[in-house]
Chains A and B, each alone.
Chain A
Amino acid sequence: MRKANASHVMLFFIMLVVGFLISYSFQWTKERKDLNVSPEQWEKEYETRKLLINQEETNRKLQEELFQKQKKVTEIEEQLKKEKELYYNLVEDVEKLRMFVGEVGVVGEGIEVTLEDSSYVPEGENVNNYIVHESHIFKVVNELLISGATAVAINGQRIFHHSYIICNGPVVTVDGNQFPAPFVISAIGDAEVLTQALNIAGGVLDQLAYENIVVKVEKKKEIKMGPYLSNELDD
């Protein structure tokens, strides 16, 4: 009985070892199989890799294309910007020129010169020597233009280089529009410079005073001139 038990214990250990070895190697091989990659998997991986590489190549090409397109777009934008600048400058110029031509109204600092007939005519004197003639207006306008006035108007009527002024009895016709005295000659420009130009000793104001005309010079912060009134200029 005792011997049989001992041999059973021995057998128990041997069986333990055998069982352990077999199951362990079984489990281990299974784990290794999971780690190993079969040829089909290799092939599949290879295919996938190839696909990926192709995809990346296409991506790169597309990326390059995109860069080129972006460059082009930038160039076009640059060009557009330049054109816009050009247009902007042109528009500014046009705006300015329009102001000069009188198609639009202008506003600015300037002076107003009022010429009035003399209120007192002594007995036996010629009345003609005491009223404002177109030559007086010419003098003032020319002096103003020479002194750098950018816009000149007579009683609100803009004067241009091809305007005409006619003395017509008691009224003065400017570009076909008749104006009675007093004549208000407004000029846009540097008010300081303009007044000083008129006030030069022996200058326009002195001459006018000598010819018995009442002259009033006013500096104004803001002078408004409407657009060109007459259409006779177009003739």
Chain B
Amino acid sequence: MWLPVIGILLGIILGLYSNIQIPDEYSNYLSIAILAALDTLFGGFRAYLQNSYDELVFVSGFFFNILLAASLAFLGVHLGVDLYLVAMFAFGVRLFQNIAVIRRILIAKWNSGRNTHKKKSNF
């Protein structure tokens, strides 16, 4: 159970103390990779809450999304079109959707936990 928490802490520490320098034009890739990772993370969390979590889908989605976003951005840079905006937009919308669903589920759970005798209807 504590392994993921340790993982994120270790990742943060590694990121803060790594001295890798990347060129300016790769900042787009970084931002899109972060967005993709966050999107997949929240997607997985939502799936877990909806009891439809599948590890293979989650893991493959995580890496595949990152790769796809990065390659889109790469293509965009070389075509002269800001294609990374597409990925940004798609991931952004999905991120908000996922978070909205998670919020609703959590609220529903909290409500049902507080009033077990009351019947909830607004879902």
Q: Using a CB–CB distance below 8 Å, which chain A residues touch chain B?
A: 7-29, 32
Contacts and interface: CB of A to CB of B under 8 A. Distances in A.
Interface in B23-76: 24, 27, 30-31, 33-34, 37-38, 41, 55, 58-59, 62
Contacts of B31: 25
A18 B66 CA distance: 11
B79 interface: no
A15 B11 CA distance: 7
Given A21-B15, A22-B15, A11 B7 contact: yes
Contacts of A8: 1, 3-4
B14 A14 contact: no
Contact of B30 (A10, A15, A28): A28
A26 B15 contact: yes
B9 interface: yes
B38 A18 contact: yes
A19 B16 CA distance: 10
Nearest to B35: A21
B4 A20 contact: no
Main secondary structure of the interface of A (DSSP, over half): helix
A23 B11 contact: yes
Given A19-B10, A20-B15, A20-B18, 19 more contacts: A7-B55, A10-B55, A10-B59, A12-B3, A14-B41, A15-B4, A15-B7, A16-B10, A17-B62, A19-B12, A20-B14, A22-B12, A22-B15, A24-B16, A25-B30, A25-B34, A28-B22, A29-B27, A32-B24
A8 to B, nearest CB: 4
Contacts of B27: 28-29, 32
A18 B8 contact: yes
Contact of A16 (B7, B18, B24, B41): B7
A15 B8 contact: yes
Main secondary structure of the interface of B (DSSP, over half): helix
Nearest to B26: A28
Contacts of A17: 11, 37, 62
Interface residues of B, number: 31
B6 interface: yes
B41 to A, nearest CB: 6
A28 B20 CA distance: 9
Nearest to A29: B27
B7 A19 contact: yes
B74 to A, nearest CB: 17
Nearest to A11: B4
B38 A27 contact: no
Nearest to A7: B55
A143 to B, nearest CB: 111
A32 B4 CA distance: 30
